[in-house]
Amino acid sequence: MSSSKITNLPRVVVAALKGGAGKTFLTVGLVAALRKRGLNVGVFKKGPDYIDAGWLGMAAGRDCYNLDAFLFPEEIARESFLRKSAGSDVSIVEGNRGLFDGVDAKGSYSTAELAKLVNAPVILIVDATKITRTAAAMVLGCKLLDPDLRIEGVILNRVAGTRHETVLREAIESAAHVPVLGSVAKLPLENFPQRHLGLLPLYEHPQAAEFVDQAAEIVERAVDLEKVLAICQSAEHLEIPDSSALDQAAAVESKPLLRIGILKDSAFQFYYPENLEALRNAGADLIFLSALVEKDLPELDALYIGGGFPETHAEALARNDVFKNSLRSAVENGLPVYAECGGLMYLSRNLLIDRHSYPMVGVFPVDSVLERNPQGHGYIQVEVQEANPFYPEGTVLKGHEFHYSYVTGLDRPGASYAFRVVRGHGMDGHRDGICCGNALGTYVHVHALGQPEWARCMIQKARAYRQRK
């Protein structure tokens, strides 16, 4: 197959030695600072992440796209990166966890492997808390562990003072031969609210725009942006096939557009941009709704409810009886509904939080119980074994799960479970994919690039519903 070279694609991967090193805050600041210079910055997040991607997108003023070679094939990840970088002055990819942390001892699907996949240099964030020369050993170790990886710069974070910075800089540059691009002092955590594994979600931050501006100011003062841009511009050429599976997936159907509702508000905010694009490309007119303020559900051909934090809006969701009743009535009349994680919780009978019970929509005959620790976290793989509204039996789905809730009453009559859990936890370690009528609820978040049948099945079900009406 012939290929054409992409010759001008400055890019970099921002990585860290571990999770919690301040990588997202500094990447958001870096993106926002470059944008203030008038640059068009393409932004990407490694791994199945919605929250960091939201902040990066806000900093860049455009959608942030996920790159994950577990959720979709490497060639698709690489091509998506190239496509979404088109027209950008520079592209920045934020890694996840530690640089080499993957699903196994070889570091499969790690940030390092992604950097090599897109042939990008790496800037390493080093949390300098209570270390000096040991930081040089860690940076040098990263270089030696994989000589094919181009670690071109270091940004120090949480530095205690001028002397601390001086010792760190001299040690890293003399022993590891990697330039230190900047040094950020310790910052008061109350300025940067966090939840679970990272920053507070964009929609819930009380001063989101101010946060991004402050991050940009800190990076502008502390980091040599000219050296960062020079590293980005040192990235080598990449090749992309002339013929592409993404071209085929983007073919828009000529039939009348189907009205597919999307619950999107501060309670339900987790949607991959590619999933929404896939629905549009397959023939959908997306109707954005809020479960917090809407009254009657409008006329729809299908509804997609993504993940989020319904638990932080439990009272408001419970109070909106008009919308809940309208949605439940629509499901009883056959409306196709695809609900992921938070959407599953919303369609349950009750949401139980610290001995308080909040009535939800009541489509599924189960209750959702919120715990303080994750009940499922990581990649998940399920096999479709039973009849359901969307997927053919035998389909294997790859996705991710991250939920602090579990469901009770799995053995109650009135619902079936379509998925067998092959990897991960799902609802109980064995089952997932609760079905009731044309509604399906699951803890599995799928990505349209890895599961292109997802959008096709949504459209087929929506068209069948419209025709029946």
Dist. CA 242–CA 252, nearest whole Å: 20
Contact between residue 99 and residue 139 where contact means Cβ atoms under 8 Å apart: no
C-alpha torsion angle, residues 155, 159, 164, 167 (rounded to 10): -20
Name residues whose C-beta falls within 8 Å of residue 203's C-beta, 6 or more positions apart in sequence: 54, 265, 266, 269
Residue whose tokens read 């009657």: 296
Residue whose tokens read 């990076």: 219
Residue whose tokens read 């919308």: 323
Dist. CA 17–CA 205, nearest whole Å: 27
Range list of β-strands (E), 334-426: 337-340, 350-353, 356-359, 367-370, 376-384, 396-403, 405-408, 416-423
Counting Cα atoms < 13 Å in the Cβ hemisphere of 279 gives 24
Among residues 215, 223, 300, 232, the alpha carbon closest in space to that of 260 is found at: 300
Cβ atoms within 10 Å of 218's Cβ, excluding its own: 18
- Is 435 tagged catalytic? no
Among residues 100, 10, 89, the alpha carbon closest in space to that of 46 is found at: 100
Catalytic member of 341, 435, 436, 457: 341
Which residues are designated catalytic? 341
